[in-house]
Structure 1
Amino acid sequence: MDEQPRISDAEWEIMKVIWEKSPATAADVIHALRDNKTWKDNTIKTLLSRLLQKGILTYEQVNRVYYYSPVLTEEECKRQERQSFLQRVYGGALKPMLVHFLKEEKLSSQEIDELKKILSEKEK
């Protein structure tokens, strides 16, 4: 597994905006999060800077404006996060995690059918 730096919960919020609006300026991110977050503008700029340092974001400067773009796709980040979680919590073993979730969570008939279909396809 390629070891990418972990993304914090706050950084995930920034990345969701970047994935949706890329390339995006800091002002674009601030505007997109204004209704949902009480973060100050400098907080968002700090989070953007951290994501740049981690290599998750890149930027292009046009005049005095920075346009941020993701280095990794959302799916690549989710995959890394899943692998990290699986390793940290279940020692990398998939079966105990699946069993735990299946026993603990309520599933609709439709969800159960979808899971059966996925398992059937995996079996082939």
Structure 2
Amino acid sequence: MKELTKREEQIMEIVWRLQEAFIRDIVNEFPEPQPHYNTVATIVKILEKKGVLQSEMIGNSNQYRPTQDFAAYREEYLESVKEKFFDNSLPKMLAHFAKKEKLSESEKEELIRIIKSK
């Protein structure tokens, strides 16, 4: 699992939504004040080196697309969190979030129902 910085994740969220994008497309998706083109281009190159983006030359510009969809990334990310912080234990991970979120009785019942259905 390749760890992404907050800004890298912001850029990836845009690319996942657009499916394919040029640097200018990515910059335009940011709210004001938008980051500088060169800043985004640098981060996109880092993401390409990390293997989460791939590029294709279209005319004289690179068009970027994700190497995996968001669902696959989320799965990989959550698996790494489970391994890193919860000794690779799903029950420990679920217990942590259940305690932290202060689940209502109906939410607890729903969680139990989901677990039993698997």
> TM-score interval w.r.t. the shorter chain?
0.7 to 0.9
Cα distance change, pair 32–109 in 1 and its aligned pair in 2 (3 A): farther
Name the SS of the counterpart of 1:23 in structure 2.
Answer: coil
Note the aligned Cα RMSD (angstroms): 1.8
Shift of 1:91: 1.7
State the TM-score, normalizing by the size of structure 1: 0.84
Higher RCO structure (Cα 8 Å, ≥6 apart): 1
CA distance in 2 between partners of 1:121 and 1:52 (Å): 39
How many residue pairs align between the two structures?
118
State the TM-score, normalizing by the size of structure 2: 0.88
Partner of 1:24 in structure 2?
A: 21
Partner of 1:101 in structure 2?
A: 97
Unaligned runs of 5+ in 1: none
Shift of 1:19: 0.8
User: How big is each residue's C-alpha offset from its partner over 1:86-105, in whole Å with a ceiling of 9 and x where there is no partner?
Assistant: 11111211211211211221
User: How big is each residue's C-alpha offset from its partner over 1:24-48, in whole Å with a ceiling of 9 and x where there is no partner?
Assistant: 1100000001x16653222211110
Unaligned runs of 5+ in 2: none
